[in-house]
């Protein structure tokens, strides 16, 4: 997957912060992160997120339902499952 592919995968998803669908631009932000996604043409994993133009929330791609991140996402999902189970 290239950055462009990830960008396409993240497009038109709902922002975690405000729920708006169309407030993303197509630009994906990224930085070196061991727990991030494998991206073509990068030597190390990249943490990928899309900044919402409406509320400025940084939506990590796994929150938008784009799989590929390691560790952090697993922990976050596990935490979320526990919270949901309790409710
Ligand atoms: Zn938003």
Q: Which domain holds residue 26?
A: 3-86
Number of H helices, E strands in the chain: 2, 3
From 45, 23, 21, select the one nearest 34 (Cα to Cα). Answer: 45
Distance 43 CA to ligand 1 centre (A): 31
**Average pLDDT of the residues in 2-6:** 92
What pLDDT does 39 receive? Answer: 95
- What is the Å distance from ligand 1's center to 46 Cα? 22
- Ligand 1 centre distance from Cα of residue 45 (Å): 25
For the chain, the domain total comes to: 1
Closest C-alpha among 56, 21, 19 to residue 10: 21
Cα separation of 29 and 8, whole Å?
13
65 CA to centre of ligand 1 in angstroms: 15
Q: What is the pTM of this model?
A: 0.75
Summarize pLDDT for 51-87 with one digit per residue, the tens. Answer: 888 898 999 999 998 988 875 555 555 555 444 454 4
Q: How far apart are the first and last CA of the chain?
A: 37
Tokens representing residue 7 in the block: 């960008």
Q: What is the pLDDT of residues 7-28, one digit of tens each?
A: 888 888 999 999 988 665 657 8
Q: Which residues pair with 51 in a beta bridge?
A: 58
């Amino acid at each position: 997957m290239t950055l462009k592919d990830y960008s396409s995968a993240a497009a038109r998803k709902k922002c975690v912060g405000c729920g708006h669908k169309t407030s993303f631009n197509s630009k994906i932000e990224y930085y070196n992160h061991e727990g991030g996604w494998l991206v073509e043409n990068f030597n190390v994993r990249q943490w990928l997120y899309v900044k919402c133009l409406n509320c400025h929330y940084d939506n990590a791609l796994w929150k938008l339902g784009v799989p590929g991140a390691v560790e952090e996402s697993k922990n976050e999902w596990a935490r979320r499952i526990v919270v949901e189970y309790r409710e």
